[in-house]
Each structure stands twice: as structure tokens, then as C-alpha cells.
Amino acid sequence: MKLKYILTFYQRIQLSLLFLVILPFTISSIITYVIINNEVTDRITSSNQQILNIIASDLTDTIDDITFSTVMIARDTTIKEKLNSLKGSNKINTFQEYQNVLEVRDFLSLLETKMIGAQSKIFFVNPSEYIIHASQTGRADQINSDWNEIQPRVDLNNTRTIQSLGVIHNDESNEGDYFFGRVIRHHVSNEYLGTLVIRIPDSYFASLFKNIEMGRLILVDQNGEEIARNQTDSFSDKEILRIEQNISRVSWSLVSEISQKEITGSITKVFFLFFILIVLFILVFFLLSIYMSKRLIKPLKSFEKIVKEFVRGNHSVRFQVKGKDEIAIIGNTFNNMLDQIKDLIQRIEHEQEEKKVLELQSLSAQIRPHFLMNTLNSIKCNLSISGDPFHSKKIDSLISLLRSYMRVNVPNTIAQECKLINAYLDIMNMRNGTDIAARIDIEDGLENVEIPRLLIQPIIENSIIHGFVDREPNANINICAYASESEIQISISDNGKGMTKEKCDTLNLLFKELSDELISDYDRVGLINIAQRLKLTYGQEAYLEGKNNEKKGTTFIMHIPKL
């Protein structure tokens, strides 16, 4: 059941007021929230992208410094000779070796100073695993431990490029330092002289990442190993805003991840508080509207009470008019309407009394047709008994016609209508002294299709009166009923004298338009009646069509759409 039939008018007014307040507010709030959310997200994304660009630029400069430093030692033949003299030593045995170590250490210190911004530390490991480091800072055992862990990662055959050796994590703090390496070989003999190792501490990455205030920043090397991050907490939010910046020098990826909840959390809280305030405002408004609506609806309640009293039979009840406002005008009009309804009820009661008298007269009149039918039936029986089947058959045909005329408003099947045509032709042939034959062809399945009673007979009558006016020999009428995809067609054709093309066109226009002006100028009432009954029964798609036959006569086709 529809909602408007369940709720009262007063309740519908309340719901309408509430709907007209809540709907615009909800839509505007959602649109505002989405716009602000998108704007904040875009600004944060833009800000993080700028920070990523700065960090990536700093990392690129650091990688360039590291690459430059390793290239210097790889191309300096003097240092290579010093390293060549130390390649077989695992400790300092002579004063010359001591001087060579000092020169190498000074050179490494120079390189370390070049990379001071990255807080990098450099040491060199010869084939005998003797370690020379640039500065005295740091524990020797820690350096040995670091070298033992990264040594398997060094590719001794790669001398042309700097190698990323990965991260060594501190078990206590889970922080890790990143290591680069460069294999040094003799420039003449290509003999392995040792590996230059550069360590970038975790503190360097922490200083780069400190400007990130929201989300987390992750630095990943070319193997997908995490180098550093500024936040270790995992995100529970599935919606994460991710920005990635590539560092092409070493194929690293700098990834910024921000939780969508982290971005929209503050906005959501503000909107939630705002929404609560608006809900409270709407509640107050709704209570005030209930009070005001009750005052406004009071006259309608009075109207409702008066109508119920009037329906119960108290026709003297009237609305008490007060003032000169719109309700007073409606009240006066309402009282006038009740007066008119009262007069109308009295007239209807008087008409009902007269209708009862007419019904009694109609019942009496129905006795006459039944008397006539019974009399004709008795005559038919007497003729059959007397040996006169010819006139008995004609009376039987007349009885069939009279019975159809008496039940003209009851539909009939196509087969029964065609049977009635045979009875009609029997009467007309006897009356006019003609011998008109009817040929009937009904497609299988259409015999029991119902059509209005006496729909075909006026066309047969038209053929007899106008088509066979000269009483031509071999007169016949063909009745065919057949179906197409969308309609049923009933065709009635004769071999009479036909009609002119102009008259046929006029008839078809009349059947199509059925305007009062055209009908008043036409005298063939039977055909007009068929066209009108078709449209009234089956709709505007049904119509009657007339046309001349190729040789002789006229054909009328009834087009009946399938239901």
C-alpha cells in the first residue's frame, strides 16, 4: 500500500517539512565534505611530493659524492701502488708499510670529508682482510663484524661500478646502516687489491626524513630491501595514499604512504560535531513545526468531523465560519457545497423512485418480445408438422436474427456470426426473390475468437442493397477470417457493381477520421456504426477499410489488433 494512503494529511505535512530541511542539508554537507576532503588530500599530496623531491635530490647528491670518491681511488695510480704493496699484509710489519698505511688513511679521510654531509664512514679491506679506515672513530670489532656480513655480497669481478651491498641492522634498535662497495684492481696487472667500503649510517636517513609530519616514508633499494623508514607503526587503514619517487642513480625507490583516515580524521571530527549541532537544531525546529502545524490543521479537523457527520445522515451540519481569512472563504464555499449536495441527494432520491416505476414498466415490456418469439416458434413447429420445411426453415432463420437483436450487447464468436449471416441471407433471398450465396472461410484457431455481435451483418446488408441492386446472376459474398502477426482481418467481398474510386477514398477517409462533420454528410449509417464500434471495442489501432476488387465488386476489411 502506498505511503500516502497510510499517513494522514497532518503526518504528510510533518514529513514534508522534515524532508525539505534534512535533504538539502544532507546533500550540501556531503558535497562540502567531499570537496574539503579532496582539497586537503591534494594539498597534502602536493606537499609530500615536494618533500620527496627535496629528499630525492639530497640522496642523489650523496650518491654522486660516493661515486666520485670511489672513482678517485679507482683512478689514482699512486694510491693503487700503495695498496699493491699492502695486498699481502694482514698487519703492519715494516716502517714502509706503516707509511703506506698512513698515506692511504689520509686519502680515505679526504674522501670522507667530501661526503661529510652524508655522515659517511670509509674503510678499505685488502685481500688479506687487513682493514684501513679513514678515521679512528668506531670500534674495530664492529667494523670487522660489518665486513664479515657484507663480504659475501661483493662481486669481485665488477670493478666498473659502485655496488650496493645492502643494510646491516642493529639487533637492539632495529636501526640499520647502508653499505656501498667498490672493487679495486691494479691498473696494469688487474690483480685484486681490495674493496673500498662506504657506510651510510641510519642517522643520515633519519635527518632526511624528519620533515615528514604525516604518514611514513620508506626508502627501498633495487632489490626491494628496506633501507630506512621514519615510522615503524603499521597502518590498519586499507585506504592508503601512496606517492613514489625513483632515484635513478642507484635504482632506489622513495615511497611516501599516508593513511586516508589520518588525512580526513580532523575533518571528520569537525563535520561530526557540526552534524550533531544541526540535528539538534532540526529537532527543535521539528517540535516547533508540530506545534504550529496542529494550530494550522485544526480547521481541517473540523472539516473532517463535519464530513463524517454529513455522511452519517446529518445533512443540517455546517462549518462555523470565523473571520475573513482563507479558511473562512473555504468554509463558506464548503457550506455552499453541502447545500448543493443536500439538494442533489433529494433529487436523486426522487429519480430513484421514478426509476423503479420505469423498471417495472420495462419488465412488463419484455414480456412482448418473448411472446413474439414463442409465437414464431409455435408456427415453425406447426409448419414442420404440416410438411412445409421451406417456410419452417425461414421462420427458424428469422428467430435466430431476432434472438441476436435482443442480445446485441453480448459478444459472439466469428463462427456464430457467420452462421447468423446464412440465416440473414435466407430471409433476404426470400424477401427479394434473389439467390445470393455466401462462401465462408475461417482460418483454423479463429472460430472461437469473440467479436461484437452483428458486426458483419451491416456489411452484408450494404452489399445486398447497393452491390446487388440490379439483381445480377451468380451473386455471391465471400467472408474470410485470417490472422497475421499483429492483427486479425475479417474480409467481406462481393461481386456486385462496386463503387467509384472517389467514393471509396471518401469512405476510407470517413472511417479514419470519424468526425461529426463528415458523418453528418454521409447516409450509410451501418458502415459508420461498424467503424465506430471497432474503435470503441479495440482502440484506435482497429479500423475498417474499403476497396474495389480488380474485376468486379467491393471488399471491406476489418482490422482487429491482437490483444
DSSP secondary structure string, 408-424? TTS-EEHHHHHHHHHHH
Which one of 273-287, 351-365, 442-456 scores highest in mean pLDDT? 442-456
Span 195-212, mean pLDDT?
A: 81
| Residue whose entry in the numeric block shows the C-alpha cell 632515484 | 247
DSSP one-letter code for 324: S
Q: Which residue has the higher pLDDT, 223 or 456?
A: 456
CA angle 67, 70, 76 (to 5 degrees): 135
pLDDT band at 15 (very low <50, low <70, confident <90, very high): confident
Q: Is the dihedral of CA 192, 193, 195, 196 positive or negative?
A: negative
Q: Which residues pair with 123 in a beta bridge?
A: 133, 197
What's the pLDDT at 491?
Answer: 94
Span 1-9, mean pLDDT?
A: 55
What confidence tens digit (pLDDT) does each residue in 405-416 have? 666 677 889 998
Model confidence, pTM: 0.45
Q: Is the pLDDT of residue 544 over 80?
A: yes
Q: How many CB atoms lie within 10 A of CB 46?
A: 11
Span 22-41, mean pLDDT?
A: 78
- Report, in angstroms and rounded to the nearest whole number, the Rg of the chain calculated over CA atoms: 55
What's the pLDDT at 364?
Answer: 46
What's the pLDDT at 554?
Answer: 93
Span 240-266, mean pLDDT?
A: 77
What confidence tens digit (pLDDT) does each residue in 462-496 have? 888 888 877 777 889 999 999 988 999 999 999 88
What's the pLDDT at 363?
Answer: 46
What's the pLDDT at 480?
Answer: 94
Which one of 107-116, 231-240, 262-271, 486-495 scores highest in mean pLDDT? 486-495
Q: How many CB atoms lie within 10 A of CB 505?
A: 12
pLDDT above 70 as % of the chain: 81
Q: Which residue has the higher pLDDT, 74 or 380?
A: 74
pLDDT band at 547 (very low <50, low <70, confident <90, very high): very high
pLDDT band at 557 (very low <50, low <70, confident <90, very high): very high
Q: Is the pLDDT of residue 367 over 50?
A: no
pLDDT band at 98 (very low <50, low <70, confident <90, very high): confident
pLDDT band at 556 (very low <50, low <70, confident <90, very high): very high
Span 357-364, mean pLDDT?
A: 52
What confidence tens digit (pLDDT) does each residue in 304-320 have? 788 888 778 777 878 77
What's the pLDDT at 139?
Answer: 67
What's the pLDDT at 365?
Answer: 47
Span 17-35, mean pLDDT?
A: 76
Alpha helix segments (H runs only) across 115-242: 140-150, 202-209
| Residue whose entry in the numeric block shows the C-alpha cell 472461410 | 441
Q: How many CB atoms lie within 10 A of CB 45?
A: 16
Could you tell me if 450 and 488 are in contact, meaning their C-beta atoms sit under 8 angstroms apart?
A: no
What's the pLDDT at 234?
Answer: 53
